[in-house]
Amino acid sequence: MDLTLIIAITTLAISSTIAMLYKSLLDRKSKIEVKTVNYLPTSNISTFINRTEEIELILNNCINSTQKSIIGIFGIAGIGKSQLMLEIGRICNERKIFNFIYYIRAQELPYDPKEDFGDQLQKYFFSTIFYSLQISRNNISDLEKDAIVRATIQKNRILLLIDGLDEVTNNDENSRFLDFLNSLPHTTKIIITSRTRMDVQLSIFLKPFTKSVTDSLIQNNENTIIFKNKLTEEDFQKIYELTSGIPYLINFVLSLLHDYSIESVLSKIETEKIKFLDSMIENQNLKLSKSQIQILIILAAAEKPLSSEDIFIKLNKSISKLDTEDFLLNLYSRNFLISKENKYLFQQEFKNYVNNKWGKTNVWVK
């Protein structure tokens, strides 16, 4: 049976997901076959750099371990958790280590708080496996489908990749979720990614790239080579300080070199900061463009990220307190690169500012 990677996410999320994950240099010869309910063309896997030790550790566990184990890849947003997971999938696909590889984007999992989370995940996982078998026979009962899937799991080596688990689970649900995963046979290897640590058998914590690795990434970037951006050692240092060695930020800064010199890039970031503040006044719905969000990611990773007071000063007074609070909490705590320590400091700053301006209010960070 041909090895197939099933991307189990909705059609609506496909285009943006593929664009985000495969935006970098597309020079890989090997490809991963992508299938959903609606057919999608094959996509090249993006260039991957470093993480050699992590890859070897994960592959050794997947190939050689006969024990049941769940591997967790943990780290802040933008650190490369999803990319590492997909690289593992690519290698396993290339080496034909597994009969089936399933990639599930956790945000897309259907969730009903009235039902047990583990049961819901099992149903979703089973339905994905059944679809991947491409059985043409009609009128198959649910019990028969369940039996077919269980037999498939028992007879085949399966790699289950669950990306972004922290987006949909909380502490109460985690134990039920892990109970289901641990109930699968040892021939099914499981890798999850999460910003918050979970109780798994093998934990991989991703750290930002070192200065030397960042320099290597810059030197081999197509925008540095093709557009002949002559970068000095000072430029390398500025990029490293700006991005803190976080892969997503490095790639974003380098993408700007397609059209701008390094001097213009640094100037552009400051300019976009002003544009962002002004746009919040004009747009009461707080809808941000992709470029504005990306610029904010850069700012959030810098030594002095945009402060809550800077934003509040520019906010239109017609925006409700609830909308403002939700927006800022989401901005700083959920989608952007704030460490646990900085998140706590921001929370205190945010509370103090809101209390001073609006009186006491219940502000919390998810």
**Of the listed ranges 250-254, 275-279, 296-300, 319-323, the one predicted with least confidence:** 319-323
Please give the backbone phi and psi of residue 97, each rounded to the nearest 5 degrees, phi first: -75, -35
Q: What domains are defined for the chain?
A: 4-205 (3.40.50.300), 211-358 (no CATH)
Question: Under a CB-based contact definition with an 8 Å cutoff, are residues 2 and 99 in contact?
Answer: no
Q: What pLDDT does residue 322 have?
A: 38
**What confidence tier does 229 reach under pLDDT thresholds 50, 70, 90?**
low
Residues 6+ apart with CB under 8 A from 317: none
pLDDT value at 344 more than 60: no
State yes or no: pLDDT of 127 exceeds 70: yes
Rounded Cα gap, residues 86 and 214, in angstroms: 21
Q: Pull the structure tokens for residue 226.
A: 């093709």
Give the span between the Cα atoms of 173 and 169, in whole angstroms: 6
Phi and psi at 100, nearest 5°, equal: -135, 140
Say which residue, 250 or 211, is predicted with more confidence: 211
Question: ∠153-155-159 over CA atoms, to 5°?
Answer: 50
pLDDT tens readout for residues 133-154:
778 777 888 889 889 988 988 8
Does residue 122 surpass a pLDDT of 80? no
Burial annotation 342-365 (CB, 10 A radius, 16+ → b, else e): ebeebbeebbebbeeeeeeeebee
pLDDT of residue 93: 81
Mean pLDDT of the 180-186 span: 85
Model pLDDT for residues 243-290, shown as the tens digit of each residue: 778 787 787 777 767 666 777 776 766 665 555 555 544 544 445 544
pLDDT at 74: 92
Assign 72 a pLDDT band (cuts: 50, 70, 90): very high
- The reported pTM is 0.64
